[in-house]
Structures are given as structure tokens and as C-alpha cells.
């Protein structure tokens, strides 16, 4: 009996990602009732899946998404965090430490979003609407994560004085300039 072709996922250049990113946007419309993710947000979500997979986690957690957003290292997220005197490298290390202590299992190639990650993305969709944006940008996702944070992640945000209100206000200032 002949089997179908084996598909592997290797990222070598941006062009092969285009169909995957388009598929991700279609998934976002279906799952979260929102228009598209921006290309940076799509990249961060794809990278969060890779982070979860490499760490042997059984789902894509909010920490994986946040870590991937911070790894982007550019844009409004960096501007907002720097304006709030947040040590981005230290924040990244705290998030990485939190991810590493997560429960590990065998590596799965098909990872679902955790309930918290789903809630953060849904919240980001609502926030993008508040900002009258046609796409969910990384900063909307950051706000969604902070708004829906719980447990140890809330403690990490407190240590860095990151609240929904001060992030939202700073983002409004940046976008008005």
C-alpha cells in the first residue's frame, strides 16, 4: 500500500512562510472572529509554537507567545517597554525561566493553544478594535497577554511595573505621535 508524501517543516527563507502565514490568518478569523494578524504577529505566533515544541510543552502557552513577541526586538512593543523603563532582557529571562519550569512531555508536532493563550488572543482582537486597527499587531497581543495574565506571569508583570493601564496609556501616546 502506498502512503502519501511526508511533509517536513523547515524555514529557510521568508517566501515559503507566506502560505503558512496566510493559513494562520484564516485560522485567526475562524477561531477568534477577527480579521488578520499582522506579519509580525503571525511570525511571533509561529515562533511561539516552535518554542513550545522545542521545550517539550504540550500546548502553546501565553509565555511562549510573550517570549516570541519580545524576541522580535523592534516596533511599538520595544518603544512602550523602553518608555516605561522596563529592562527587556531581564523580562525576557524571567519569561524564559517560567517556560523552562513548565511541565514537559514528549514532543508533539500539533500543539494547541492553551486556554490562557486563546483568551489573550481574543482579548488582543478586542484591543485591536479599540485602536481601530485592521490587524492584530504585536502591541495588541502584548496588551491582551497582560490583561488576561494569571499566576506567576502576573507576578512577573508586577516586578517590572507592567500593568494594562500603563501599557495602554503609553501605546496611545506613541501612536498619537
Q: How far apart are CA 120 and CA 49, in angstroms?
A: 15
What is the reported pLDDT for 176? 85
Residue 113: strand pairing partners: 60
Answer left, alpha or beta for residue 144, where phi above 0 means left and psi between -120 and 50 means alpha: alpha
Reading the block at residue 55, the C-alpha cell is 521545550
Residues in the chain, pLDDT under 50: 1-17
Q: Are 21 and 39 in contact (CB under 8 A)?
A: yes
Q: Is the pTM of this model over 0.85?
A: no
Neighbours of 61 (CB within 10 A): 25
What is the reported pLDDT for 11? 35
What is the reported pLDDT for 22? 54
pLDDT in tens, 59-88: 899 999 999 999 998 889 999 999 999 999
What is the reported pLDDT for 99? 86
Reading the block at residue 7, the C-alpha cell is 511533509
What is the reported pLDDT for 111? 86
3-class DSSP assignment, residue 113? strand
Amino acid at each position: 500500500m502506498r502512503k502519501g508524501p511526508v511533509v517536513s517543516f523547515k524555514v529557510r527563507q521568508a517566501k515559503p512562510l507566506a502560505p503558512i502565514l496566510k493559513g494562520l490568518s484564516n485560522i485567526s478569523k475562524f477561531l477568534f472572529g477577527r480579521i488578520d494578524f499582522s506579519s509580525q504577529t503571525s511570525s511571533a505566533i509561529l515562533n511561539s509554537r516552535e518554542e513550545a515544541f522545542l521545550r517539550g510543552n504540550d500546548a502553546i502557552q501565553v509565555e511562549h507567545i510573550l517570549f516570541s513577541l519580545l524576541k522580535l526586538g523592534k516596533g511599538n512593543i520595544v518603544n512602550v517597554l523602553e518608555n516605561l523603563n522596563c529592562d527587556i532582557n531581564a523580562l525576557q529571562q524571567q519569561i524564559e525561566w517560567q517556560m523552562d519550569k513548565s511541565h514537559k512531555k514528549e514532543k508533539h508536532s500539533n500543539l494547541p493553544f492553551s486556554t490562557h493563550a486563546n483568551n489573550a488572543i481574543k482579548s488582543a482582537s478586542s484591543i485591536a478594535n479599540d485602536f481601530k486597527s485592521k490587524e492584530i499587531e504585536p502591541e495588541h497581543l502584548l496588551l491582551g497577554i497582560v490583561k488576561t495574565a494569571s499566576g506567576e506571569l502576573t507576578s512577573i508583570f508586577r516586578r517590572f511595573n507592567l500593568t494594562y493601564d500603563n501599557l495602554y496609556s503609553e501605546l496611545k501616546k506613541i501612536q498619537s505621535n
